[in-house]
Amino acid sequence: MRKSDISQVINRPVKHMAAPKAVTSRMRTSKRAHKSYPASTLNFLKRLPSEILMKVLSYLDPSALFSISHVSRLFYQLANDEALWKNIYIVELGKNKKRKPKCMDELLLKTATLEVHDGAAGHWKWLYFKTVAAYDMKTWKSHLGLISRHTGLPSRTERVLRNLHVTWELTVSDKSGHEGTHEPSWSQFCETSVTLCWSGGGCLPDYQQISTLQLHGVRRIALNCPGLKKPGWRSLMATLDMQALTGSTQVIGQDRLVELKLLQPGIIIGVWREQSSVAFVMFTLHFHRLVERSIQGSSVCPYVEQIIKSPFDDIDPEYGLHGYQLHIVLHNTACEIMSGSFHQMFCQRTQICDGLIQLTAISRIILSQHTPLSSRINLPWRCEALHGAVKNCCIMSLTLLDEFKKPFWCVGSPVSMELEKTPVSYDYDGEHFSIHHQDSDGQVKMKLVWMEEQKQLALISLVVYVTVCKVNEHFSRNY
Protein backbone atom coordinates (compact mmCIF):
# COMPACT_ATOMS: atom_id res chain seq x y z
CA MET A 1 0.00 0.00 0.00
CA ARG A 2 1.41 3.38 -1.03
CA LYS A 3 1.64 6.34 1.41
CA SER A 4 -0.82 8.33 -0.75
CA ASP A 5 -3.37 5.53 -0.38
CA ILE A 6 -2.83 5.48 3.37
CA SER A 7 -3.47 9.20 3.69
CA GLN A 8 -6.71 8.83 1.68
CA VAL A 9 -7.91 6.07 4.00
CA ILE A 10 -7.10 8.16 7.08
CA ASN A 11 -8.56 11.40 5.77
CA ARG A 12 -11.75 9.88 4.39
CA PRO A 13 -13.43 9.01 7.73
CA VAL A 14 -12.44 12.38 9.16
CA LYS A 15 -14.77 14.08 6.67
CA HIS A 16 -17.64 11.84 7.77
CA MET A 17 -16.90 12.42 11.43
CA ALA A 18 -16.74 16.18 10.99
CA ALA A 19 -20.28 16.59 9.70
CA PRO A 20 -22.74 14.81 12.02
CA LYS A 21 -24.69 18.03 12.70
CA ALA A 22 -25.33 18.69 9.00
CA VAL A 23 -26.51 15.14 8.48
CA THR A 24 -28.79 15.39 11.50
CA SER A 25 -30.41 18.58 10.18
CA ARG A 26 -31.20 16.94 6.84
CA MET A 27 -32.72 13.95 8.64
CA ARG A 28 -35.07 16.26 10.51
CA THR A 29 -36.30 18.07 7.36
CA SER A 30 -36.76 15.15 5.01
CA LYS A 31 -37.95 11.60 5.53
CA ARG A 32 -36.53 10.70 2.11
CA ALA A 33 -33.14 11.93 3.23
CA HIS A 34 -33.52 9.80 6.31
CA LYS A 35 -34.03 6.70 4.16
CA SER A 36 -31.18 7.52 1.82
CA TYR A 37 -28.63 7.87 4.66
CA PRO A 38 -28.83 4.68 6.73
CA ALA A 39 -27.24 4.81 10.20
CA SER A 40 -24.55 2.34 9.14
CA THR A 41 -23.00 4.89 6.77
CA LEU A 42 -22.52 7.34 9.63
CA ASN A 43 -19.95 5.11 11.30
CA PHE A 44 -17.69 4.27 8.42
CA LEU A 45 -14.73 3.30 10.60
CA LYS A 46 -16.59 0.50 12.36
CA ARG A 47 -17.54 -0.97 8.99
CA LEU A 48 -13.92 -1.28 7.91
CA PRO A 49 -12.31 -4.65 8.63
CA SER A 50 -9.83 -4.47 11.48
CA GLU A 51 -7.18 -5.94 9.20
CA ILE A 52 -7.29 -2.84 6.99
CA LEU A 53 -7.10 -0.48 9.96
CA MET A 54 -4.21 -2.45 11.43
CA LYS A 55 -2.41 -2.26 8.10
CA VAL A 56 -2.83 1.52 8.10
CA LEU A 57 -1.63 1.83 11.70
CA SER A 58 1.43 -0.29 10.98
CA TYR A 59 2.82 2.61 8.93
CA LEU A 60 2.71 5.03 11.88
CA ASP A 61 5.66 5.85 14.13
CA PRO A 62 5.38 5.54 17.94
CA SER A 63 4.43 9.22 18.40
CA ALA A 64 1.60 9.07 15.86
CA LEU A 65 0.44 5.72 17.22
CA PHE A 66 0.29 7.09 20.75
CA SER A 67 -1.62 10.16 19.54
CA ILE A 68 -4.19 8.23 17.54
CA SER A 69 -4.91 5.99 20.54
CA HIS A 70 -6.68 9.02 22.07
CA VAL A 71 -9.16 9.41 19.19
CA SER A 72 -11.73 6.80 20.19
CA ARG A 73 -12.15 3.50 21.98
CA LEU A 74 -11.77 1.67 18.68
CA PHE A 75 -8.43 3.32 17.93
CA TYR A 76 -7.33 2.89 21.52
CA GLN A 77 -7.77 -0.87 21.22
CA LEU A 78 -6.14 -1.07 17.80
CA ALA A 79 -3.23 1.25 18.60
CA ASN A 80 -2.33 -0.82 21.68
CA ASP A 81 -2.17 -4.10 19.81
CA GLU A 82 0.67 -6.27 21.13
CA ALA A 83 1.80 -7.49 17.71
CA LEU A 84 1.98 -3.90 16.48
CA TRP A 85 4.22 -2.73 19.31
CA LYS A 86 6.33 -5.88 19.17
CA ASN A 87 7.13 -5.10 15.55
CA ILE A 88 7.93 -1.46 16.45
CA TYR A 89 10.25 -2.61 19.23
CA ILE A 90 12.22 -4.92 16.93
CA VAL A 91 12.28 -2.68 13.84
CA GLU A 92 12.71 0.76 15.40
CA LEU A 93 15.39 -0.23 17.91
CA GLY A 94 17.04 -2.54 15.41
CA LYS A 95 17.59 0.16 12.79
CA ASN A 96 18.71 2.82 15.28
CA LYS A 97 22.44 2.28 15.74
CA LYS A 98 22.53 4.37 18.90
CA ARG A 99 19.73 2.57 20.67
CA LYS A 100 20.04 -1.01 19.40
CA PRO A 101 21.96 -3.61 21.39
CA LYS A 102 25.52 -4.51 20.39
CA CYS A 103 24.31 -7.01 17.81
CA MET A 104 21.04 -8.29 16.42
CA ASP A 105 21.70 -11.70 17.96
CA GLU A 106 21.50 -10.08 21.38
CA LEU A 107 18.21 -8.42 20.39
CA LEU A 108 16.74 -11.70 19.15
CA LEU A 109 17.90 -13.46 22.30
CA LYS A 110 16.27 -10.77 24.43
CA THR A 111 13.08 -11.04 22.37
CA ALA A 112 13.01 -14.82 22.75
CA THR A 113 13.51 -14.49 26.49
CA LEU A 114 10.55 -12.14 26.71
CA GLU A 115 8.22 -14.34 24.69
CA VAL A 116 6.85 -15.78 27.93
CA HIS A 117 5.37 -12.35 28.68
CA ASP A 118 4.03 -11.84 25.17
CA GLY A 119 0.29 -11.23 25.28
CA ALA A 120 0.31 -9.37 28.59
CA ALA A 121 -1.59 -6.10 28.17
CA GLY A 122 0.73 -3.32 27.06
CA HIS A 123 3.89 -5.39 27.48
CA TRP A 124 5.64 -4.54 24.20
CA LYS A 125 4.56 -0.91 24.31
CA TRP A 126 5.94 -0.62 27.83
CA LEU A 127 9.15 -2.41 26.80
CA TYR A 128 9.70 -0.01 23.88
CA PHE A 129 9.34 3.12 26.02
CA LYS A 130 11.47 1.61 28.78
CA THR A 131 14.29 0.82 26.33
CA VAL A 132 14.17 4.34 24.87
CA ALA A 133 14.18 5.81 28.37
CA ALA A 134 17.17 3.68 29.41
CA TYR A 135 19.18 4.90 26.43
CA ASP A 136 18.39 8.54 27.18
CA MET A 137 19.39 8.09 30.81
CA LYS A 138 22.71 6.54 29.79
CA THR A 139 23.36 9.57 27.61
CA TRP A 140 22.66 12.10 30.38
CA LYS A 141 24.48 10.27 33.16
CA SER A 142 27.71 11.67 31.80
CA HIS A 143 26.40 15.18 32.50
CA LEU A 144 25.71 14.25 36.12
CA GLY A 145 29.39 13.44 36.48
CA LEU A 146 30.37 17.10 36.05
CA ILE A 147 30.71 18.21 39.69
CA SER A 148 30.84 21.83 40.82
CA ARG A 149 33.84 22.55 43.03
CA HIS A 150 31.77 25.05 45.02
CA THR A 151 28.74 22.89 45.82
CA GLY A 152 30.05 19.34 45.41
CA LEU A 153 26.89 18.61 43.38
CA PRO A 154 26.37 17.91 39.67
CA SER A 155 26.57 21.30 37.98
CA ARG A 156 24.01 20.41 35.30
CA THR A 157 21.21 19.00 37.43
CA GLU A 158 18.60 21.41 36.10
CA ARG A 159 19.65 20.76 32.50
CA VAL A 160 19.47 16.98 32.97
CA LEU A 161 16.02 17.19 34.57
CA ARG A 162 14.71 19.28 31.69
CA ASN A 163 16.23 17.10 28.96
CA LEU A 164 14.86 13.95 30.58
CA HIS A 165 11.41 15.62 30.66
CA VAL A 166 11.12 15.16 34.43
CA THR A 167 8.22 16.75 36.26
CA TRP A 168 6.56 16.17 39.62
CA GLU A 169 3.02 15.30 40.69
CA LEU A 170 1.27 15.82 44.02
CA THR A 171 -1.36 13.28 45.04
CA VAL A 172 -3.74 14.50 47.75
CA SER A 173 -6.08 12.13 49.58
CA ASP A 174 -8.83 13.32 51.90
CA LYS A 175 -10.38 11.55 54.87
CA SER A 176 -13.31 10.29 52.79
CA GLY A 177 -10.93 8.38 50.52
CA HIS A 178 -11.13 10.72 47.53
CA GLU A 179 -7.81 11.11 45.72
CA GLY A 180 -6.60 13.73 43.25
CA THR A 181 -3.32 14.13 41.37
CA HIS A 182 -2.04 17.57 40.39
CA GLU A 183 0.87 18.97 38.40
CA PRO A 184 2.80 22.00 39.72
CA SER A 185 1.36 25.44 39.12
CA TRP A 186 4.92 26.78 38.87
CA SER A 187 8.49 25.83 39.72
CA GLN A 188 11.60 27.84 40.55
CA PHE A 189 15.17 26.54 40.22
CA CYS A 190 17.96 28.01 42.31
CA GLU A 191 21.65 27.13 42.65
CA THR A 192 21.23 23.91 44.64
CA SER A 193 17.47 23.25 44.87
CA VAL A 194 14.14 23.56 43.13
CA THR A 195 10.92 24.89 44.67
CA LEU A 196 7.58 23.50 43.47
CA CYS A 197 4.17 25.01 44.16
CA TRP A 198 0.65 23.67 43.73
CA SER A 199 -2.09 26.30 43.98
CA GLY A 200 -5.34 25.41 45.69
CA GLY A 201 -7.96 27.06 43.49
CA GLY A 202 -10.68 24.82 44.91
CA CYS A 203 -8.97 21.68 43.61
CA LEU A 204 -7.43 20.77 46.97
CA PRO A 205 -9.51 19.70 50.00
CA ASP A 206 -9.62 21.79 53.15
CA TYR A 207 -6.54 21.61 55.33
CA GLN A 208 -8.39 19.76 58.09
CA GLN A 209 -9.69 17.17 55.60
CA ILE A 210 -6.35 16.19 54.05
CA SER A 211 -5.36 12.65 54.99
CA THR A 212 -2.11 12.07 53.07
CA LEU A 213 0.19 13.88 50.64
CA GLN A 214 2.36 12.00 48.17
CA LEU A 215 5.02 13.47 45.91
CA HIS A 216 6.05 11.56 42.79
CA GLY A 217 8.73 12.34 40.27
CA VAL A 218 7.43 11.66 36.76
CA ARG A 219 9.57 11.13 33.71
CA ARG A 220 7.80 11.77 30.42
CA ILE A 221 8.91 10.13 27.19
CA ALA A 222 9.70 12.67 24.47
CA LEU A 223 7.03 12.21 21.79
CA ASN A 224 5.74 14.59 19.15
CA CYS A 225 2.21 14.68 20.56
CA PRO A 226 1.06 18.29 20.98
CA GLY A 227 -1.64 18.71 23.60
CA LEU A 228 -1.34 15.18 24.99
CA LYS A 229 0.21 14.08 28.26
CA LYS A 230 3.17 11.91 27.33
CA PRO A 231 3.59 8.39 28.74
CA GLY A 232 5.88 8.21 31.73
CA TRP A 233 6.96 6.50 34.93
CA ARG A 234 6.32 7.61 38.50
CA SER A 235 8.86 7.53 41.32
CA LEU A 236 7.65 8.00 44.89
CA MET A 237 9.65 10.72 46.67
CA ALA A 238 7.70 11.55 49.83
CA THR A 239 4.63 10.39 51.75
CA LEU A 240 3.12 12.50 54.52
CA ASP A 241 0.51 11.24 56.97
CA MET A 242 -1.21 14.46 57.99
CA GLN A 243 -2.73 12.98 61.15
CA ALA A 244 0.70 11.90 62.39
CA LEU A 245 2.08 15.40 61.72
CA THR A 246 -0.63 17.26 63.62
CA GLY A 247 1.47 17.74 66.75
CA SER A 248 4.69 18.76 64.97
CA THR A 249 3.25 21.27 62.50
CA GLN A 250 4.77 24.71 63.02
CA VAL A 251 3.51 28.12 61.86
CA ILE A 252 6.58 29.88 60.45
CA GLY A 253 4.99 33.08 59.17
CA GLN A 254 1.91 34.87 57.90
CA ASP A 255 0.74 37.95 56.05
CA ARG A 256 -2.71 39.50 55.80
CA LEU A 257 -3.97 36.66 53.55
CA VAL A 258 -2.20 33.37 54.29
CA GLU A 259 -0.57 31.48 57.14
CA LEU A 260 2.43 29.24 56.42
CA LYS A 261 2.47 25.86 58.15
CA LEU A 262 5.75 23.89 58.07
CA LEU A 263 4.76 20.22 57.95
CA GLN A 264 8.33 18.95 57.94
CA PRO A 265 11.63 20.29 56.57
CA GLY A 266 11.09 21.25 52.93
CA ILE A 267 7.28 21.18 52.92
CA ILE A 268 4.88 24.01 53.74
CA ILE A 269 1.15 24.55 53.25
CA GLY A 270 -0.29 28.02 52.84
CA VAL A 271 -3.74 28.23 54.45
CA TRP A 272 -6.09 31.17 53.98
CA ARG A 273 -6.25 33.05 57.27
CA GLU A 274 -9.35 32.44 59.42
CA GLN A 275 -10.31 29.65 57.00
CA SER A 276 -9.39 26.02 56.52
CA SER A 277 -9.07 26.08 52.72
CA VAL A 278 -5.62 25.57 51.18
CA ALA A 279 -4.06 28.41 49.20
CA PHE A 280 -1.02 26.44 48.04
CA VAL A 281 1.34 23.56 48.83
CA MET A 282 5.08 24.18 48.42
CA PHE A 283 7.94 21.63 48.27
CA THR A 284 11.66 22.46 48.23
CA LEU A 285 13.82 19.67 46.79
CA HIS A 286 17.59 19.69 47.25
CA PHE A 287 19.66 18.79 44.18
CA HIS A 288 21.53 15.94 45.93
CA ARG A 289 20.50 12.77 44.07
CA LEU A 290 17.43 14.62 42.81
CA VAL A 291 17.56 13.05 39.34
CA GLU A 292 17.81 9.55 40.80
CA ARG A 293 15.08 10.20 43.36
CA SER A 294 12.79 11.61 40.67
CA ILE A 295 13.02 8.74 38.20
CA GLN A 296 14.58 5.61 39.72
CA GLY A 297 12.05 4.75 42.41
CA SER A 298 8.76 2.94 41.81
CA SER A 299 5.24 4.28 42.17
CA VAL A 300 5.04 2.82 45.70
CA CYS A 301 8.68 2.74 46.87
CA PRO A 302 11.20 5.60 46.86
CA TYR A 303 14.71 5.43 45.45
CA VAL A 304 17.15 4.07 48.04
CA GLU A 305 20.53 5.78 47.98
CA GLN A 306 23.51 3.51 48.30
CA ILE A 307 25.32 4.20 51.56
CA ILE A 308 29.04 4.69 50.98
CA LYS A 309 31.20 5.03 54.08
CA SER A 310 34.48 6.90 54.05
CA PRO A 311 37.71 4.84 54.26
CA PHE A 312 38.69 3.89 57.80
CA ASP A 313 41.61 5.83 59.27
CA ASP A 314 43.23 4.66 62.51
CA ILE A 315 46.13 7.14 62.37
CA ASP A 316 44.41 10.54 62.49
CA PRO A 317 43.00 11.04 66.03
CA GLU A 318 40.66 13.80 64.76
CA TYR A 319 39.41 11.82 61.75
CA GLY A 320 35.87 12.90 60.86
CA LEU A 321 36.14 16.19 62.72
CA HIS A 322 37.92 18.34 60.12
CA GLY A 323 38.09 19.08 56.40
CA TYR A 324 34.41 20.02 56.05
CA GLN A 325 33.15 22.38 53.36
CA LEU A 326 29.85 24.24 53.56
CA HIS A 327 27.86 25.82 50.75
CA ILE A 328 24.74 27.69 51.78
CA VAL A 329 22.18 29.66 49.80
CA LEU A 330 19.40 31.83 51.23
CA HIS A 331 16.79 32.60 48.61
CA ASN A 332 13.07 32.97 48.05
CA THR A 333 10.73 32.27 45.16
CA ALA A 334 11.94 35.34 43.28
CA CYS A 335 15.64 35.97 43.94
CA GLU A 336 18.81 34.93 45.72
CA ILE A 337 19.42 36.63 49.07
CA MET A 338 22.83 35.25 49.97
CA SER A 339 25.24 32.57 48.72
CA GLY A 340 28.55 31.53 50.27
CA SER A 341 31.10 28.72 50.47
CA PHE A 342 33.19 28.03 53.57
CA HIS A 343 36.20 25.71 53.56
CA GLN A 344 38.33 23.81 56.08
CA MET A 345 35.73 23.79 58.83
CA PHE A 346 36.58 21.67 61.87
CA CYS A 347 35.61 20.74 65.40
CA GLN A 348 37.96 19.73 68.19
CA ARG A 349 37.15 16.83 70.47
CA THR A 350 36.72 19.23 73.40
CA GLN A 351 34.01 21.12 71.47
CA ILE A 352 31.76 18.08 71.13
CA CYS A 353 28.72 18.83 73.31
CA ASP A 354 25.24 17.33 73.73
CA GLY A 355 25.87 14.78 71.00
CA LEU A 356 26.72 17.42 68.38
CA ILE A 357 29.90 18.51 66.66
CA GLN A 358 30.17 22.25 66.04
CA LEU A 359 31.38 23.67 62.70
CA THR A 360 31.70 27.46 62.62
CA ALA A 361 31.48 29.15 59.22
CA ILE A 362 31.02 32.77 60.34
CA SER A 363 32.20 33.82 63.80
CA ARG A 364 30.38 36.48 65.77
CA ILE A 365 33.66 37.99 66.98
CA ILE A 366 35.46 38.16 63.60
CA LEU A 367 33.97 41.23 61.90
CA SER A 368 35.71 40.55 58.57
CA GLN A 369 33.60 37.40 58.14
CA HIS A 370 30.27 39.21 58.53
CA THR A 371 28.32 39.14 55.27
CA PRO A 372 25.67 41.66 54.12
CA LEU A 373 22.56 40.25 52.44
CA SER A 374 21.45 41.44 49.02
CA SER A 375 17.80 41.84 50.02
CA ARG A 376 15.43 41.53 52.94
CA ILE A 377 14.17 38.20 54.23
CA ASN A 378 10.74 37.49 52.76
CA LEU A 379 8.93 34.75 50.87
CA PRO A 380 6.79 35.89 47.90
CA TRP A 381 3.89 33.66 46.91
CA ARG A 382 1.29 33.69 44.17
CA CYS A 383 -1.95 31.79 43.83
CA GLU A 384 -4.24 32.33 40.85
CA ALA A 385 -5.14 36.06 40.85
CA LEU A 386 -3.76 36.70 44.34
CA HIS A 387 -0.20 37.22 45.50
CA GLY A 388 1.67 38.38 48.57
CA ALA A 389 4.90 38.10 50.53
CA VAL A 390 5.43 36.67 54.00
CA LYS A 391 8.01 38.71 55.91
CA ASN A 392 10.87 37.13 57.83
CA CYS A 393 10.65 33.86 55.87
CA CYS A 394 12.91 32.48 53.14
CA ILE A 395 14.31 29.19 51.83
CA MET A 396 17.64 27.73 52.95
CA SER A 397 19.57 25.32 50.72
CA LEU A 398 22.53 23.87 52.60
CA THR A 399 25.17 21.40 51.40
CA LEU A 400 27.82 20.11 53.81
CA LEU A 401 30.70 18.17 52.22
CA ASP A 402 33.11 15.86 54.04
CA GLU A 403 36.89 16.00 53.59
CA PHE A 404 36.54 13.89 50.42
CA LYS A 405 34.26 16.57 48.90
CA LYS A 406 31.25 14.25 49.04
CA PRO A 407 27.79 15.47 50.18
CA PHE A 408 27.50 14.66 53.88
CA TRP A 409 24.36 16.55 54.93
CA CYS A 410 21.94 18.29 52.57
CA VAL A 411 19.00 20.50 53.51
CA GLY A 412 16.46 22.38 51.43
CA SER A 413 13.74 23.94 53.53
CA PRO A 414 11.83 27.16 54.30
CA VAL A 415 13.07 28.83 57.49
CA SER A 416 11.83 31.73 59.58
CA MET A 417 13.69 34.69 61.11
CA GLU A 418 12.76 35.74 64.63
CA LEU A 419 13.54 38.94 66.53
CA GLU A 420 15.90 38.54 69.49
CA LYS A 421 14.50 40.39 72.48
CA THR A 422 17.70 40.78 74.49
CA PRO A 423 20.66 40.73 72.11
CA VAL A 424 24.19 41.29 73.41
CA SER A 425 26.35 43.18 70.91
CA TYR A 426 28.94 45.95 71.13
CA ASP A 427 29.44 46.29 67.38
CA TYR A 428 25.89 46.81 66.03
CA ASP A 429 23.09 49.04 67.29
CA GLY A 430 20.28 47.70 65.08
CA GLU A 431 17.76 44.98 65.78
CA HIS A 432 19.13 41.44 66.05
CA PHE A 433 17.49 38.37 64.56
CA SER A 434 18.07 34.61 64.54
CA ILE A 435 17.31 31.75 62.16
CA HIS A 436 17.25 28.20 63.52
CA HIS A 437 16.78 24.98 61.57
CA GLN A 438 16.78 21.50 63.10
CA ASP A 439 16.23 17.98 61.79
CA SER A 440 17.33 14.46 62.67
CA ASP A 441 20.87 14.96 61.32
CA GLY A 442 21.76 18.32 62.80
CA GLN A 443 21.06 22.01 63.34
CA VAL A 444 21.83 25.34 61.71
CA LYS A 445 21.99 28.55 63.74
CA MET A 446 22.31 31.99 62.17
CA LYS A 447 22.49 35.44 63.74
CA LEU A 448 21.60 38.54 61.74
CA VAL A 449 21.55 42.26 62.45
CA TRP A 450 19.77 45.16 60.79
CA MET A 451 22.21 47.91 59.83
CA GLU A 452 20.19 51.10 59.87
CA GLU A 453 22.64 53.27 57.96
CA GLN A 454 23.05 50.77 55.10
CA LYS A 455 19.38 49.76 55.25
CA GLN A 456 20.23 46.07 54.96
CA LEU A 457 20.66 42.88 56.94
CA ALA A 458 24.04 41.33 57.69
CA LEU A 459 24.79 37.73 58.61
CA ILE A 460 27.10 37.94 61.63
CA SER A 461 27.12 34.30 62.82
CA LEU A 462 26.68 30.95 61.07
CA VAL A 463 27.25 27.70 62.95
CA VAL A 464 26.39 24.18 61.77
CA TYR A 465 25.88 21.35 64.24
CA VAL A 466 26.01 17.72 63.08
CA THR A 467 24.97 14.78 65.25
CA VAL A 468 27.79 12.61 66.55
CA CYS A 469 25.79 9.53 65.50
CA LYS A 470 25.94 10.64 61.87
CA VAL A 471 29.68 11.29 62.08
CA ASN A 472 30.39 7.96 63.77
CA GLU A 473 28.35 6.03 61.22
CA HIS A 474 29.95 7.74 58.23
CA PHE A 475 33.58 7.64 59.40
CA SER A 476 33.41 4.42 61.51
CA ARG A 477 34.38 6.29 64.68
CA ASN A 478 33.21 6.25 68.27
CA TYR A 479 33.19 9.84 69.48
Identify which of 398, 424, 426 has the alpha carbon closest to the alpha carbon of residue 413: 398
SS3 content of the chain, % helix, strand, coil (to 5): 30, 35, 35
Euclidean distance between CA atoms 305 and 398, whole angstroms:
19
Q: What angle do CA 470, 246, 300 make, to 5 degrees?
A: 65
> Considering only 89-103, 141-155, 430-444, which range has the smallest mean pLDDT?
89-103
238 against 84, higher pLDDT: 238
Average pLDDT over residues 130-149: 77
Share of the chain above pLDDT 70, in %: 81
Instruction: Yes or no: say if 452 and 430 are a contact pair by the CB < 8 Å rule.
Output: yes
> Residue 104: pLDDT above 50?
no
Q: pTM higher than 0.95 for the full model?
A: no
Mean pLDDT of 346-362: 95
The residues spanned by each domain of the chain are: 3-137, 157-295, 324-475
Mean pLDDT over residues 114-124, rounded?
57
In angstroms, the Cα distances linking 18 to 11, 42, 107 are: 11, 11, 44
Residue 27, pLDDT > 80, answer no
Is 80 exceeded by the pLDDT of residue 231? no
Nearest CA among 289, 322, 309 for reference residue 152: 289
What pLDDT is attached to residue 12?
A: 44
Q: What pLDDT does residue 9 have?
A: 39
Higher local confidence (pLDDT), 370 or 108: 370
Q: Is the pLDDT of residue 108 over 50?
A: no
Mean pLDDT of the chain, nearest integer: 83
- Give Cα 396 to chain centroid, integer Å: 17
Q: Is the pLDDT of residue 271 over 80?
A: yes
DSSP class of 368: G
Of 4-18, 47-61, 373-387, the range with the lowest mean pLDDT is 4-18
39 vs 312, which has greater pLDDT? 312
Is residue 45 scored above 80 in pLDDT? no
